[in-house]
Amino acid sequence: MAQQFPTQARVVIIGGGIIGCSVAYHLTKLGWTDVVLLEQGQLSGGTTWHAAGLVGQLRSHANMTSLIKYSTQLYSELEAETGLATGWKNCGSLSVARSADRMTVLKRTAASARAQGVDIEVISAREAQEKWPVMAIDDLVGAVWLPGDGKANPTDLTQSLAKGARNRGARVIERVRVTGIQTKDGRATGVSTDKGDIAAEIVVNCAGQWARKVGAMCGVTVPLHSAEHMYIVTGKIEGVHPDLPVLRDPDGYIYFKEEVGGLVMGGFEPEAKPWGMKGIPDDFEFALLPDDWDQFEILMQNALIRVPQLETSEVKKFYNGPESFTADNNFILGEAPELKNFYVGAGFNSMGIASAGGAGRALAEWIVNGAATMDLWPVDIRRFAGFNNNPRWLHDRVKETLGLHYAMPWPNRELDTARPFRRSALYDRLAAKGACFGSKMGWERANWFAAQGEKPETQYAFGKQNWHEAVKREMKATREASGIFDQTSFAKILVQGRDAARVLNRICAADIDVEIGRSIYTGLLNERGGYESDLTVMRLGRDKFLLVTGSAQAVHDADWISKNVPEDAHVTLTDVTSSYAVLALMGPRSRDILTKLTSADLSNTGFPFATIREIDIGYATAYANRMTYVGELGWELIVPTEFAIGVYEALHEAGRVHGLADCGYYALEALRIEKGFRAWSRELTPDITPYEAGLAFAVSMDKPDGFIGKEALVAAKAKGKLTRRIVQFTVDDAAPMLWGGELILRDGKPVGEVRSAAYGHTLGRSVALGLLHNEAGIDKDFIESGRFEIDLAGERYTATAHLKAPYDPKSERVKADSTELHEAA
């Protein structure tokens, strides 16, 4: 008997591609069996069916790698559970290098793979050819071999996941189109479909390239854009057999895998072809786009170099399918900040098959637990804001993001397209001074300043780059005179209301219920005691707090805070990022400079460290917060946007005789790492506690009403040992340049990875903050008695571990307080 169309379910999933099916599979595995999955056509008929099926494990972020490692495990076991084959073949993969720089990338990859527990071997071109005899190797420098990689059949995998979900009670219904999302009081409450309405506690948008449109049904931003993605399938080629590994040749933008004795050859060309500008047709099911040999030519030419036999082999089929891409080439996961109980898993950037197992599990856990269970920031939906959904901007950006898969992953690579996007009021002035801009959260930010006659263009390399001397100048100015940094991109959130102090004090780990005019550095912790954010809370009034947080964290932090505000509390949040510029004046001469422009008392007693005052600066009235991110005397000037230029000009006028210099983000990064200051998303993540981060001072364990995460910290303390810890390192040799991501060894054994690194010109060597891991515990003795080395693309350099920052300001120190955010005066 035909089942009746459901009218309610605990969870409704929209989309029967591999992602939706994986979410259904994992929800039911976690015991949530009242799940309905709706597919407008047939399962896998959207993008999934025509995927090439490559499953490569290695990603630049350890947790992203761990998601795919889990995918490979799941795909190898699924058939045994469901009885439906998945086409999974653990054939391994090779990546080859045509240049020395690419070989450096592969060696760096190998080192970080080891840090992430992925099997990898650096091999010669000849050894690679032994594993892949049909390739020409004359132009190759070397290769890496990943035995754990593989390939799968996307459609079979989807069916198998759906079967697993069905077996545990989920209903998978094809030929039902979701036409609207029902909401009440800021929550999703169900869906409308062409077959009727379904009430639901949770709605999950896994609608692939339609996910942007589904999001728009309920005001949720899902910033993705489709682009054409192509591969060919050849007839049989001699020497090609089913166990042939997957081959990637990123310098040629191409990949290969075996299929029925022939080759699948596709790739990621440097300039992609956006598609679907007028929307994606609803009935685009098991459909392809017309062959485009012109667009494919660059891939074909490179493929002929690698596999000369292609010259004479038959092309049996040309697949040109659209896939959705995002602005940063990472997928979009999590609960929408605009609508509670509405989750998104979409925008898979041609990695959906590889990612589906892990991403589906991560999203299911997020739904069941009401919060992510691991650090998922690289893919977190809250890294995007409403303005990222601008269609023209997305269109122009995805031309570049598709190609990023195989583009040279220079350590500080900036994206070039769809810029400038967001500009501070000072943009033109900084440009005129020789600023070389980078981009963060869409903001154009000065990375470094070129000297007169020098071109403000970064020339990428793995060693020291062309801005090395510029950053040295800027660091010296900040340490010995003063630097001015445009930090307007900081996100700023005003928290106000009768209950603001009480509620914020539960959300912040430090005590922020302090007297008016104090600035408090604090973490926002999750229930696991990990960092959801770290920021500065400035008390402007009894019921008024200004929060200044990282440039990329505006949406994330506002979401985290509002989700933790009780429904009956009187608290409002306002994003005031665009209202204020932030000019940071930092360095020993800062007081001398600012004194000339203000009537305010800037002395240590009149304006102590960690306080905020509204002061006059030239003609402007602005907030001055005495705190810096570089460990020197200084103020962050929070200036109404329209006064920013005036303050900037006045500071320069006053600072000329004191050696005031414009400085950029590369100098800032190096200065903060020298001081051992931690940064969110690098050292501070949702998986790291203040104890592991060495920031216990910024936690108030004895606040009367406690704070979110306190119980986890109490439990961690009771354990009595730390198995992970952030530790600062300097490389003993002054020559090498670290970038982050490098493997750390202790007495020859892998023990962690570098999270942030820079060349510390004040110290005359590379300086880094690394995360160490040791099950037996990491104490002072472990750090002091070990012989540490850092693996830099296969070369090991000895490094010194520091429990206290090795940089100590030359200028007279007011107080070496325990806060680590100390400064010299």
Ligand X SMILES: Cc1cc2nc3c(=O)[nH]c(=O)nc-3n(C[C@H](O)[C@H](O)[C@H](O)COP(=O)(O)OP(=O)(O)OC[C@H]3O[C@@H](n4cnc5c(N)ncnc54)[C@H](O)[C@@H]3O)c2cc1C
Kindly state whether residue 156 participates in binding ligand X, applying the rule CB under 6 A: no
Kindly state whether residue 353 participates in binding ligand X, applying the rule CB under 6 A: yes
Kindly state whether residue 502 participates in binding ligand X, applying the rule CB under 6 A: no
Kindly state whether residue 303 participates in binding ligand X, applying the rule CB under 6 A: no
Kindly state whether residue 250 participates in binding ligand X, applying the rule CB under 6 A: no
Q: Rule CB under 6 A: choose which of 351, 385, 684, 693 binds ligand X.
A: 351
| Cβ-based nearer residue to ligand X, 39 or 156 | 39
Q: Rule CB under 6 A: choose which of 6, 41, 360, 529 binds ligand X.
A: 41
Distance CA 402, CA 267 (A): 9
For residue 332, give the nearest of 205, 494, 187 by alpha carbon: 205
Q: Rule CB under 6 A: choose which of 103, 146, 354, 398 binds ligand X.
A: 354
Question: What φ, ψ does residue 274 adopt, rounded to 5°?
Answer: -60, 155
Kindly state whether residue 269 participates in binding ligand X, applying the rule CB under 6 A: no
| Cβ-based nearer residue to ligand X, 320 or 756 | 320
| Cβ-based nearer residue to ligand X, 286 or 619 | 286
**DSSP secondary structure letter of residue 24:** H
For residue 168, give the nearest of 351, 308, 31, 326 by alpha carbon: 31
Strand partners, 191: 181, 198
Pair type for strands 171-174 and 254-259: unpaired
For residue 403, give the nearest of 268, 565, 260 by alpha carbon: 268
Kindly state whether residue 206 participates in binding ligand X, applying the rule CB under 6 A: yes
Q: Rule CB under 6 A: choose which of 46, 148, 529, 741 binds ligand X.
A: 46
Q: Rule CB under 6 A: choose which of 6, 16, 438, 676 binds ligand X.
A: 16
- Shortest distance, position 327 Cβ to ligand X, whole Å: 16
> 809: Cβ–Cβ under 8 A, 6 or more apart, which residues?
479, 588, 631, 632, 823, 824
Rama region for 619: left / alpha / beta (φ>0; ψ in -120 to 50; rest): alpha
| Cβ-based nearer residue to ligand X, 231 or 393 | 231
Amino acid at 738: L
| Cβ-based nearer residue to ligand X, 172 or 565 | 172
Kindly state whether residue 208 participates in binding ligand X, applying the rule CB under 6 A: yes
Binding mask 165-184 for ligand X (x = CB under 6 A): ------------xx------
CB 636 within 8 A of CB 416: no
Q: Is the dihedral of CA 186, 687, 769, 625 positive or negative?
A: positive
DSSP secondary structure of 488-547: TTSEEEEEESTTHHHHHHHHBSS-----TTBEEEEEEE-TTS-EEEEEEEEEEETTEEEE
| Cβ-based nearer residue to ligand X, 141 or 233 | 233
Distance CA 104, CA 174 (A): 48
The distance of Cα 42 from the centroid of its chain, to the nearest Å, equals 33
| Cβ-based nearer residue to ligand X, 285 or 480 | 285
| Cβ-based nearer residue to ligand X, 226 or 505 | 226
| Cβ-based nearer residue to ligand X, 6 or 690 | 6
Kindly state whether residue 357 participates in binding ligand X, applying the rule CB under 6 A: no
| Cβ-based nearer residue to ligand X, 128 or 176 | 176
Kindly state whether residue 329 participates in binding ligand X, applying the rule CB under 6 A: no
Pair type for strands 35-39 and 8-14: parallel
Kindly state whether residue 321 participates in binding ligand X, applying the rule CB under 6 A: yes
Kindly state whether residue 245 participates in binding ligand X, applying the rule CB under 6 A: no
- Shortest distance, position 63 Cβ to ligand X, whole Å: 17
Stretches 36-44, 109-117, 600-608, 645-653: which one binds ligand X (CB under 6 A)?
Answer: 36-44
| Cβ-based nearer residue to ligand X, 362 or 737 | 362
- Shortest distance, position 335 Cβ to ligand X, whole Å: 17
Kindly state whether residue 19 participates in binding ligand X, applying the rule CB under 6 A: yes
Kindly state whether residue 113 participates in binding ligand X, applying the rule CB under 6 A: no
Kindly state whether residue 47 participates in binding ligand X, applying the rule CB under 6 A: yes
The distance of Cα 168 from the centroid of its chain, to the nearest Å, equals 34
Distance CA 825, CA 822 (A): 10
Q: Where is 439: in which H helix or E strand? A: strand 435-440
> 428: Cβ–Cβ under 8 A, 6 or more apart, which residues?
none
Say how many residues touch ligand X, by CB under 6 A. 40
- Angle in degrees, CA 753, 754, 758, rounded to 5: 170
Kindly state whether residue 607 participates in binding ligand X, applying the rule CB under 6 A: no
- Shortest distance, position 348 Cβ to ligand X, whole Å: 3
CB 312 within 8 A of CB 70: no
- Shortest distance, position 284 Cβ to ligand X, whole Å: 8
Kindly state whether residue 334 participates in binding ligand X, applying the rule CB under 6 A: no
Distance CA 45, CA 666 (A): 46
Stretches 28-36, 38-46, 310-318, 573-581: which one binds ligand X (CB under 6 A)?
Answer: 38-46
Q: Is the dihedral of CA 808, 813, 818, 822 positive or negative?
A: negative
Kindly state whether residue 319 participates in binding ligand X, applying the rule CB under 6 A: yes
CB 507 within 8 A of CB 524: yes
Pair type for strands 482-486 and 660-663: parallel
Kindly state whether residue 214 participates in binding ligand X, applying the rule CB under 6 A: yes
Kindly state whether residue 17 participates in binding ligand X, applying the rule CB under 6 A: yes
Kindly state whether residue 15 participates in binding ligand X, applying the rule CB under 6 A: yes
| Number of neighbours of residue 308 by Cβ within 10 angstroms | 12
| Cβ-based nearer residue to ligand X, 401 or 482 | 401
| Cβ-based nearer residue to ligand X, 323 or 513 | 323
Side by side, the strands of the sheet bearing 572-575 are: 519-525, 531-541, 544-549, 491-496, 572-575
The distance of Cα 285 from the centroid of its chain, to the nearest Å, equals 32
- Shortest distance, position 153 Cβ to ligand X, whole Å: 11
- Shortest distance, position 200 Cβ to ligand X, whole Å: 14
Q: Rule CB under 6 A: choose which of 45, 530, 690, 770 binds ligand X.
A: 45
Q: Rule CB under 6 A: choose which of 27, 35, 40, 92 binds ligand X.
A: 40
- Shortest distance, position 193 Cβ to ligand X, whole Å: 7
Given the rule CB under 6 A, which residues bind ligand X?
Answer: 14-20, 38-41, 45-48, 50-54, 177-178, 206-210, 214, 229, 231, 319, 321, 323, 346, 348, 350-354
